[in-house]
Amino acid sequence: MQHNQFKEEALNRIKIAQGHLDKVRKMLEGDEYCPSIILQNRAVQAALKKVDEVVLHGHLHTCVLKDLHGNKDDNEKMVGEIVELFKKS
């Protein structure tokens, strides 16, 4: 996949997350059943997690693989950046 394809996929996933989030807001405004709201909110979280997966996939394919043949220090820096992302989640 090319950069634009990853970008389009990520934007599509953001739209899905926004739709779920709008539904959560409407459910809260409508005083709907709390477990149903939580379930819908988890759909938002799952959709956002998928955005992260798509963006990471794109980064690995369009940036990391391209630069992998650079010097060892740069490779270590790239790996460190990715590891730090997962530490923060």
pLDDT score for 89: 63
Domain count within the chain:
1
For residue 62, give the H/E element and its range.
none
Least confident of 2-16, 24-38, 47-61, 75-89: 75-89
Residue 25 structural domain: 3-87
Alpha carbons 49 and 89: distance in angstroms, whole number: 10
Query: How many beta carbons lie within 10 A of that of residue 29, not counting itself?
Result: 8
- Tell me the C-alpha to C-alpha distance, in Å, between residue 21 and each of 1, 16, 18, 61: 29, 9, 5, 30
pLDDT over threshold 90, residue 70? no
The one-letter amino acid at 41: N
